[in-house]
Amino acid sequence: MERRALGSLQVSAVGLGCNNFGGRLDESATRAVIDAALDVGVNFFDTADIYGQEQSEVLVGRCLKEKRSEVVIATKFGMPLDDQRFGAKPEYVKSACAASLRRLDTDYLDLYQLHYPDETVPIEETLGALHELIEAGYVREIGCSNLSVEQLRAAKKAAGVKPAFVSVQNQYSLLAREPEADGVLGACAELGLGFLPFYPLANGLLTGKVRPGEPLPEGTRLANMPVERQAHWRSEEMLTRVGRLLDYAKSIDTPLLTLAFSWLLSHPEVSSVIAGATKPEQIRANAAAATTLGAEVRTRLDALTN
List the catalytic residues.
Answer: 51
Which string of DSSP letters, residue by residue, matches the chain?
--EEEETTEEEESEEEE-TTBTTTB-HHHHHHHHHHHHHTT--EEE--TTGGGGHHHHHHHHHHGGGGGG-EEEEEE-S-SSSSS-S--HHHHHHHHHHHHHHHT-S-EEEEEE-S--TTS-HHHHHHHHHHHHHTTSEEEEEEES--HHHHHHHHHHHTTS----EEE-B-BTTB-HHHHSSHHHHHHHHT-EE--BSTTGGGTTSS---TTSPPPTTSTTTTS-HHHHHHHTSHHHHHHHHHHHHHHHHTT--HHHHHHHHHHTSTTB--EEEE-SSHHHHHHHHHT--PPPHHHHHHHHHHH-
Nearest to 183 by CA among 195, 174, 199: 195
